Structure 1
């Protein structure tokens, strides 16, 4: 395997030239890892280059994790790693370039959202589910992503989804069902409650994150579990309330009008709510989710109320850390708190 990983190594000057010395106008965005740049290799192949920031939450351990993981994982709904560069001053990951950027750029942009008709949204949900099923159950290694969110779902030219950013992922043994960490990593609003509070994670932690994404795709709204609005206005609470009041179709993004398959929408809402159940044991396996999305006759249980964190103000993240004694590392849009050594 090491020989294979070594064969993926790029020369730093090759990447520097491809990105025009990491020109500002080639910058695609940035995240917990650092900045991402578009580049073009000498033969004309377009690439996306992730550049490890010196101040990054993620470090060399995550860098090596992502190389090994993505090199081993091959699925049409996972982003493809082309190679890497590990020079004395730079750590770079080189990926296939996906022209439509990430799901959140479409889903939460009023101008771009119009291109997401229901069939496209349903195909994105189904593709993410297939990618997770592969990670959890079908690949040679079982992988827990730990930072699944709409900004880590990339879209190709045909709007097919690809799960990206494996720097925080964890390998599981074949018979292992749960892991523990002293450092909570991920993004508030997508974290399963047992992980956010105690550090316990499993494939069901990813299932929870998937459920949040499903409800975001259906509603066109971003989940904000730690926003300044009262928690009763948060997406997950609203989805549960509408389901419980037998008015689930009121959750649908108004951008869709009447152009959607009602049966598919209701199934997605129900699956989303089942995936965000408070107790991990109540959440479905991705095999069952994929089967349901594929139209197989599966009897889905009635969702129970999901877990809601306290009074939901922005400061609640630190309040929870104080209350439960757990350090938090947030890789999304909110504040990053204390960083601890990797477990």
Structure 2
């Protein structure tokens, strides 16, 4: 605010200076030829020019002085009114003194305010030294910059007490257990108004568990996308924490592919739809969020399916915002088989790490195999290592496709999907495509009714 007051004083000084210059311009000899000594001397010897004319010139000068005074005063008043309106606007925009919440590590509101103050100071400067088009341009850039930081403000999240969640899950009984995670279990719950939900119960046994809980709540409270799990709320107790999501009736992609049904419910087109939904979610995280988000634990068990097999990404405990963490602050985490080689070996994390994991998921959909298969008690085999030589061989590829979908697709589409998967799992990150390119490659392979652009020709019976 001190800077703004300083600028207001500067404006007053400039306006007074302009007033003095205006008065000088109207009263100086250069602007009044009738008062010039040379002109007076010539006039006294010229016929038809009376000496009384000097009184008329003096009267005319007074009129001009009055006009200059009115114009300059009006300009000064306009500037003062504009500055006053600007100050009132800033007073309303500035946040009141409130207590800090526990989420300051993601809240960059103060930095945003400082940036805006700097821009506004520049605007005042442009007001004095530039034209109106520059002023308008600077202001709109300030507003646009604020809206781009889409992850800087925490959204509304409902808080649940322990008794409510205990009642909703039937006392966290085994009959409502629908999944297990690294730090806790997931239970089916029925909230008020018969709203079905999934409650993740996290045992607060370590600082890492607490960090992941806080990270997931913070991120999901700001992220809203049709292919990303919706957060209903959270609960926090001394010994346990709880995250409440929307319920996905068909479970995870991992369960559908590798569980008892062995993928029998997933047709070729349904698998392509799931891949497209997942790509849209990752594309949103990488390209639409500001700052961009790297999921860091993309895998089939974190891709959940609703009753219509719409796919949504879940589990953001390990997700990071680009630029929010230094390289040394990111602990190597992930799931074997999905972790990109450069991240596993060198700790180098980029958006291409998510692209690699997506490629592995695409291979699971295509081949129906797990990302890592155990050959013996001491030996495992990577799906990428096993499949890569056969994916590029058109004669071998149809033979390794998941038997559930074998010979149910156009082989041209099969080769296209295999080519996308091969590119995604390239060892060198620079050879992998952006997720946007992957998304555009999958859209033509998904039927219109499932969210793509492929128009199916009805088979003649």
TM-score, normalization by structure 1: 0.79
Structure 2 counterpart of 1:62: 212
Which has the larger share of helix?
2
In the alignment, is the contact (CA less than 8 A) between 1:108 and 1:222 conserved in 2? Answer: yes
Q: Secondary structure at the match of 1:186?
A: coil
Structure 2 counterpart of 1:236: 384
Taking the aligned partners of 2:346 and 2:205, their CA distance within structure 1 comes to 27
In the alignment, is the contact (CA less than 8 A) between 2:257 and 2:368 conserved in 1? Answer: yes
Taking the aligned partners of 1:196 and 1:181, their CA distance within structure 2 comes to 15
Change (3 A) 1:33 1:5: farther
Change (3 A) 1:232 1:147: closer
Give the alignment's Cα RMSD to 1 decimal: 2.5
The Cα of 1:89 is off from its aligned counterpart by 2.8
Does residue 183 (structure 1) correspond to residue 331 (structure 2)? The answer is: yes
In the alignment, is the contact (CA less than 8 A) between 1:33 and 1:50 conserved in 2? Answer: no
Does residue 294 (structure 1) correspond to residue 443 (structure 2)? The answer is: yes
The Cα of 1:179 is off from its aligned counterpart by 4.1
Where relative contact order (Cα < 8 A, 6+ residues apart) is larger, the structure is 1
Counting only pairs closer than 5 Å after superposition, residues 69-148 of structure 1 correspond to structure 2 as: 69-148=219-298
The Cα of 1:38 is off from its aligned counterpart by 0.6
Structure 1 counterpart of 2:372: 224
User: Relative to structure 2, which stretch is displaced further, 250-259 or 221-230?
Assistant: 221-230
Aligned length: 294
Structure 2 counterpart of 1:324: none
Q: Secondary structure at the match of 1:157?
A: coil
Task: Tell me which of 286, 303, 315 is aligned to 1:165.
Answer: 315
Change (3 A) 1:222 1:85: same
Taking the aligned partners of 1:231 and 1:282, their CA distance within structure 2 comes to 29
The Cα of 1:279 is off from its aligned counterpart by 1.0
Task: Tell me which of 228, 245, 254 is aligned to 2:403.
Answer: 254
Taking the aligned partners of 1:103 and 1:275, their CA distance within structure 2 comes to 19
Q: Which runs of 5+ in 2 are unaligned?
A: 1-100, 104-152, 446-461
Q: Secondary structure at the match of 1:113?
A: coil
Counting only pairs closer than 5 Å after superposition, residues 271-290 of structure 1 correspond to structure 2 as: 271-290=420-439
The Cα of 1:58 is off from its aligned counterpart by 4.2
In the alignment, is the contact (CA less than 8 A) between 1:33 and 1:56 conserved in 2? Answer: no
The Cα of 1:87 is off from its aligned counterpart by 2.2
Task: Tell me which of 278, 303, 308 is aligned to 1:153.
Answer: 303
User: Relative to structure 2, which stretch is displaced further, 254-263 or 241-250?
Assistant: 241-250
Deviations 1:118-160 (A, max 9, x none): 0110000111011100011112331111111110000011001
The Cα of 1:294 is off from its aligned counterpart by 1.6
Q: Which runs of 5+ in 1 are unaligned?
A: 297-343
Change (3 A) 1:229 1:277: farther
The Cα of 1:61 is off from its aligned counterpart by 1.0
Change (3 A) 1:7 1:233: closer
Task: Tell me which of 247, 269, 275 is aligned to 2:418.
Answer: 269
Change (3 A) 1:180 1:121: farther
Structure 1 counterpart of 2:356: 208
Task: Tell me which of 347, 355, 369 is aligned to 1:199.
Answer: 347
Which has the larger share of strand?
1
TM-score, normalization by structure 2: 0.60
Taking the aligned partners of 2:379 and 2:355, their CA distance within structure 1 comes to 22
The Cα of 1:10 is off from its aligned counterpart by 1.2
Taking the aligned partners of 2:212 and 2:181, their CA distance within structure 1 comes to 13
Change (3 A) 1:117 1:7: closer
Change (3 A) 1:228 1:196: farther
Higher Cα Rg, which structure: 2
